[in-house]
Structure 1
Amino acid sequence: MKLAPNLHRIGNDIVAAYLVDTPDGITLIDAGLPGLWRDLQKELASLEKSPSDIRGLVLTHGDSDHIGFAERLRREYDVPVFVHAADADRARTGKKPKVSTPPMRAGAAVGFFAYALRKNGIRTRYVREVTEMHDGDALDLPGSPTIIAMPGHSPGSVAVHVPAVDAVFVGDALTTRHVLTGAAGPQPAPFTDDPQLALESLDRLAGIQASWVLPGHGTPWQGSPADIAAAVRGREAR
């Protein structure tokens, strides 16, 4: 799905990943669920491209619904997979702390888990080799993505700022659709390791200049990062 020139989404409001298409090749942000591989192939075909045009995959964090086809892409096409050092073990092994069970609404929760099953979510392969990145890194990839540490959802959660497409990709630093309740609008993401730290990390979005804020779950946000961060904080305060 084309969002803007050179900016595409695969998946949907339940689970999404993104492509940055440039003359120098493609940068992927996140890898969703394993079954999004077919969606990736379709989107690439619409661009008259193939996986061999992908220069790198940048993970916003190491959770299973963001690393879906990462290992396949690395293994079959030798695409490097970038993840913050603090989440490297998470991406390689799936180990994460237990968190309290968030509120659920039956219909939304069943829909999320059913979608995950359809997209082979129980068959996630963890990433055997990763390239570690850190806060402030400017990656040598198409679009020149810059890494902004956003700890809270996980220790190595990041936002990825790509000025070339006027976008910042935020993973689960926030969401615009709660996958377990169906509630729409800017809000904290469920399954967060440290909710208070995640809220504090939203301050790091305030100085970013972008017209798109793109979460791993929910509707793309057209507006400033500062505004959506304020909206999340305001909702949480209520």
Structure 2
Amino acid sequence: MNAELLRIGDDIVAMHAVVTDEGVTLIDAGLPGDRRILQQALAAAGRSVSDIRGVVLTHGDSDHIGVAEWLRSEHGVPTYVHEADAGRAQGEKTPSASGGAMRLGPTLQFFAAALRRGGLRPKHLGEVRTVRDGDVLDLPGSPQIIGMPGHSAGSIAIRVPAVDAIFVGDAITTRHVLNGSSDVQVGPFSDDPDATPGSLERLRALPEREIVVGHGPIFHGTAAEMLAVLKR
């Protein structure tokens, strides 16, 4: 099967598309104002929104659900989220975790991007399909669900061997949105950051060589190599 990984957005907030002969799976959904950049990225790959078969969320935070409700309500695209984060994605639960230490420049960049891309007006989902640890979804790329509680109770990693990648959402970051640090580290705004390193151990033996985060550049290496440099 031919498969391509598209990165859409930037190191502040990104979503990703797995593009195959069977269609497109969107991993996370950016910010609400990201419709145009999604459409442009798909068009550059010879695809369109009509090729998206599903959105899979690494967790239910507002900077990951972005365009998912637009895709669901206007294009019939289902969104999949772990059952423990379904309420979060639908606006029934509000995260309250601290972001940690800040630096003025990176913090302003993050909030400016959120403002420009509609992040202050989140579009929560009217309907979701729930997943559990161990599920393999009938979507392009056959994404595999790995439970990763820590950032949120329903955080997951999404393994897609077809593009040699594991998507970890905000379990880790390679660009801290509040202080600009490029260290590989546990993501900010985590409900239970002490649980995340243990959850990441579930990935250690996997062979994929792209660890894809929601904020920051892709980590080029295996999960074991990523764990070796993780700042705790």
Q: Which residue of 2 aligns with 1:220?
A: 218
Task: Indicate the SS of the match to 2:133.
Answer: coil
1:13-63 deviations in Å (ceiling 9; x for gaps): 000000000000000000011111111000011122111100010000000
Unaligned runs of 5+ in 1: none
1:169-216 deviations in Å (ceiling 9; x for gaps): 110011111000000021110000001111211111102210111000
Q: Is the 8 A contact 2:211 2:222 kept in 1?
A: yes
Q: Is the 8 A contact 2:98 2:188 kept in 1?
A: no
Alpha-carbon distance between aligned partners in 2 of 1:117 and 1:207, rounded to the nearest angstrom: 39
Alpha-carbon distance between aligned partners in 1 of 2:222 and 2:19, rounded to the nearest angstrom: 22
Counterpart among 78, 99, 102 of residue 100 in structure 2: 102
Deviation at 1:229, TM superposition (A): 2.1
Q: Which residue of 2 aligns with 1:84?
A: 82
Q: Which residue of 2 aligns with 1:7?
A: 5
Counterpart among 201, 204, 221 of residue 203 in structure 1: 201
Deviation at 1:124, TM superposition (A): 1.3
Alpha-carbon distance between aligned partners in 2 of 1:90 and 1:58, rounded to the nearest angstrom: 14
1:104-163 deviations in Å (ceiling 9; x for gaps): 001110110011000010121100100000000000000000000000000000000000
Amino acid at match of 1:84: H
Alpha-carbon distance between aligned partners in 2 of 1:103 and 1:155, rounded to the nearest angstrom: 23
Q: Percent identity?
A: 55
Amino acid at match of 1:81: T
Q: Could you state the TM-score of these two structures normalised by the residue count of structure 1?
A: 0.94
Counterpart among 169, 172, 179 of residue 170 in structure 2: 172
Q: How many residues align?
A: 231
Alpha-carbon distance between aligned partners in 2 of 1:140 and 1:34, rounded to the nearest angstrom: 26
List structure 1 segments (4+ residues) > 4 angstroms apart after TM superposition: none
Query: Alpha carbon RMSD of aligned pairs, Å?
Result: 1.3
Deviation at 1:93, TM superposition (A): 1.0
Task: Indicate the SS of the match to 2:184.
Answer: strand
Unaligned runs of 5+ in 2: none
